[in-house]
Amino acid sequence: MADATLRVHQTQPLKDIYTPEACSHYAISNSIILTYDHRGGAPPRGRDRLRVFRTIVQTNYYSEGVGNKEQIHVLGFDASDEFHEYVIVWENDAIEWRVDGKVVRREGFPKKPMFLYASVWDASCIADRKYRGTHQPYVCMYKDIHVPVGTAVVY
**Domain boundaries along the sequence of the chain:** 15-129
Q: Is this prediction's pTM over 0.75?
A: no
- Cα first-last separation, the chain: 9
Confidence of residue 50 (pLDDT cuts 50, 70, 90): low
Contact 47, 38 (CB under 8 A): yes
**Domain formed by 15-129, architecture:** Sandwich (2.60)
The average pLDDT across 55-84 equals 81
Give the number of other Cβ atoms within 10 Å of residue 86's Cβ.
18
Q: Which residues on neighbouring strands pair with residue 98, listed in sequence order?
A: 87, 103
Q: pLDDT digits over 82-134, tens only?
A: 888 888 887 777 888 999 999 999 988 655 555 565 656 655 565 565 555 56
Q: Percentage helix, strand, coil, to 5, in the chain? A: 5, 30, 60
Q: How many CB atoms lie within 10 A of CB 20?
A: 14
Least confident residue range of 9-13, 75-79, 114-118? 9-13
Q: How many CB atoms within 10 Å of residue 72?
A: 11
